[in-house]
Every structure is written in structure tokens, then in C-alpha cells.
Amino acid sequence: MSPAIRSFGIIGLGKMGADLALNAIGKGFAVVGLDLHAVPDELTRAGLKSAADVAGLAALLPQPRLIFLYVPAGPPVDALLAQLATALSPGDIIADGGNSYWGDSIRRHARTKQHGIHFIDAGTSGGPSGARDGACFMVGGDAEPVAMIEPILRKLAVEGGYVNAGPAGAGHFVKLVHNGIEFGMLQAIGEGMDLLVHYRDTLPIADVLQCWEHGSVIRSWLIELMEKLYRQQGRLDSVPDYVEDTGEVNWLVDDALHMEVPIPVITQSVIQLVASREGRREASRAVAMMRHGFGGHPYGANAGVARERHTGRVGGFIPAGPVGAAP
């Protein structure tokens, strides 16, 4: 029986990684962190040990090592896996908590397995506040390493916020579908806000949203965020109507075409998001508000996010069947 893991590393101490580290330290775990930038003082004061590089991170962790990745999808993940392959030992575990494409995760699972290292795709939802206070984890990977990290993820998750979705790739696929549903919900709420704003008489919109939070069929965290942010801003046109995104749901639309599964609402939500970059729409402002509220996503155009949209997926769709190791 494998020993219980009480310490682990996190590479990528941005919005999600930093808050997850604080969550873990508060639950009694020892956390070693690594980031391209200086480790925030808050993390150091909380007890996080910082490492200067991947080799240093590995040296500070007992075996079997567990390392979470919270870095942008795409080439950064592959670059880290190449470094970790030389620093880790057989039996160690890498869990990618970012928004990587599920097909890339299947390939990475096969590649790391050649080194005897376990790769788990751990889709994470809830935004920075969830990472800090209780996240939602959707996990894919081999049964043994998943069982080893499940107790950790359950402690870091909100009650009920953990699912073992299946083999490699399943966690990130489920998270991708989740993101597609999220886009559809954001678009519907945004369009509803557009209608409320354009009613013939002035409506108490914040109060309407507050009412919807109590007992209505559409009550949700997104409605709560919309009400909170609308009260803070006072109107929709106080924020840009340009909605930025990292492009994950574009992958889902492409996957749906390969799978011959019609997803018109999710597809249209992506099209409307792209359209926000060309014209002025109140719905786009509302979507931008909610995305800022739950994930800290930037208002307006952002070069870093746009770059990730174009580089986040390394490979393409993988049809059903066995997958060999990536070259």
C-alpha cells in the first residue's frame, strides 16, 4: 500500500496555483512552490517553501513525489514535462490542473509513462476563490495514482466537488465540456441583461437579479456574481464590451464536429464571444463582468490571453482507440 502523501509541489503560483497552495497549507499539507516570478510574500509567510528550479523542487519533496501544474496550456506544459522527466523518479506523479486540451493530456500520459512517471489530468473549476476555499476537481488517469491523490483533492475540494472521470484525458474532457456549458450560461444571462437594460421603462436591475437568486429556476452563482458586479459598477457600459478568452471552447466546438454531436448553443456562445471584439453590445459587457467576477479574467483585450488562445492546444482530436506514446 502506497504511503499517504502529505507534501507536494505546485509549479505556477498565479491566481489558481497560489490560492490552492494557501488552501493546502491551511489543511496541514507541506507545499513547495515554483514560479517564473518571485513567490508572493503571502505564500512565504503562510509556510510555502520556494524552489529556484525544477530540480530544486524535486529535491525538497519525499518520494513518491506529487507535483501539480497550474501553468498556461500548450507549450509551457510540454516544456515542464521535459524538465520533470529528468528530475523525477519512477512512481512520481504529475497532475496538470490547468485547462489543457484532453487530447494533449492523453499524449502526455503516454509520454511520461515511458519514464515510469504517472500523469494525471486534473481539471479544476471554481476560480481563485474556489482554489482558496474549496475547488471542484475532475480527474482522469490510471487507477493507482488517481487513488493516491484522491484524498488530497477531496480535502482541497468543496464538499462533493470531486469526480474520478475515468482514464487519461477524461478529466480534461469533462472540464472542457464544463467550460462549454459555462459559455452557454454566460451568454444567456448576458442576453437577458441586454433585454433588461433596453426595456421601455427603467428597471431596478440589481434588485431583479437579487430576486432571481432566491427560489427562481435560474438561481446560480453566475446570477449572484452578476448582481454583485452590477451593483459595484452601476451600469453595464462602465466596462469594455470586448470579451477575451483563452480559446478552450473553440476546441470543444471542433471536437463536437468530429464526434458528430450538435452543440448549437455552445457554438453560438463562442461566435458571440468573438463578435464582442467587433461591436458594442451590452450582453458582452455582462459576460465580461461575470468572467471577471469568477475567474479574475481581464477586462478588454489582453495580449497574453490572446496568445494562449492560439497556442494552448498542441495536438488535434484523437479518435477512439489506443494511443501510442508521442514522439
Mean pLDDT of 127-153: 97
Single pTM value for the model: 0.85
- For 32, 76, 113, the CA distances from 80, given in Å and listed in that order, are 16, 6, 15
Q: Are residues 117 and 233 in the same domain?
A: no
pLDDT digits (tens, 9 = 90+) for 246-265: 999 999 999 999 999 999 99
C-alpha cell at 93: 506523479
Told to judge if 182 belongs to the known catalytic residues of this protein, a careful annotator would answer yes
Q: Are residues 215 and 184 in the same domain?
A: yes
- For 3, 243, 281, the CA distances from 197, given in Å and listed in that order, are 58, 19, 11
Q: Measured between alpha carbons, how far is 226 from 201 in angstroms, rounded to an integer?
A: 21
Examine the pLDDT at 321 and tell me if it is beyond 80: no
Domain ranges, residue 73: 7-166
Q: Are residues 233 and 203 in the same domain?
A: yes
CATH code at 102? 3.40.50.720
Catalytic residue among 182, 227, 248, 308: 182
Catalytic residue among 27, 42, 175, 228: 175
Q: Give which of 64, 63, 84, 75 is closest to 11, Cα–Cα.
A: 84
Q: Are residues 116 and 154 in the same domain?
A: yes
Q: Are residues 161 and 234 in the same domain?
A: no
Grid cell 516544456 in the structure block, residue: 79
Angle, helix 221-233 to helix 170-197, in steps of 10 degrees: 50
Q: Are residues 22 and 126 in the same domain?
A: yes
Examine the pLDDT at 326 and tell me if it is beyond 70: no
Domain tally for the chain? 2
Comparing 179 with 307, the larger pLDDT belongs to: 179
| Lowest-pLDDT choice from 79-83, 144-148, 272-276 | 272-276
Mean pLDDT of the chain: 93
Q: Are residues 244 and 307 in the same domain?
A: yes
- Is 321 inside any structural domain? no
**Whats the size of the chain, residue-wise?**
327
Residue 52: the pLDDT is 94
pLDDT digits (tens, 9 = 90+) for 282-305: 777 888 899 899 888 988 889 988
Comparing 276 with 40, the larger pLDDT belongs to: 40
| Lowest-pLDDT choice from 33-42, 131-140, 181-190, 236-245 | 236-245
DSSP 152: H
Give the three-class secondary structure for 41. helix
Q: Are residues 183 and 87 in the same domain?
A: no
Q: Are the C-beta atoms of 144 and 1 separated by less than 8 Å?
A: no
Percent of the chain scoring above 90 in pLDDT: 77
DSSP 277: T
pLDDT digits (tens, 9 = 90+) for 172-187: 999 999 999 999 999 9
pLDDT digits (tens, 9 = 90+) for 91-111: 999 999 999 999 999 999 999
Mean pLDDT of 224-247: 91
C-alpha cell at 137: 476537481
Residue 4: the pLDDT is 83
Q: Are residues 158 and 185 in the same domain?
A: no
Which of 133, 166, 199 is the last residue before a domain boundary? 166
Classify each residue of 18-42 as buried b or exposed e, where b means 16 or more C-beta atoms within 10 Å of its C-beta.
bbbbbbbeeeebbbbbbbeeebbee
- Is 325 inside any structural domain? no
- Is 318 inside any structural domain? no
Q: Measured between alpha carbons, how far is 152 from 32 in angstroms, rounded to an integer?
A: 15
Q: Are residues 79 and 150 in the same domain?
A: yes
CB within 8 A of 318, min separation 6: which ones? 103, 106, 107, 169
CATH code at 299? 1.10.1040.10
Q: Are residues 151 and 12 in the same domain?
A: yes
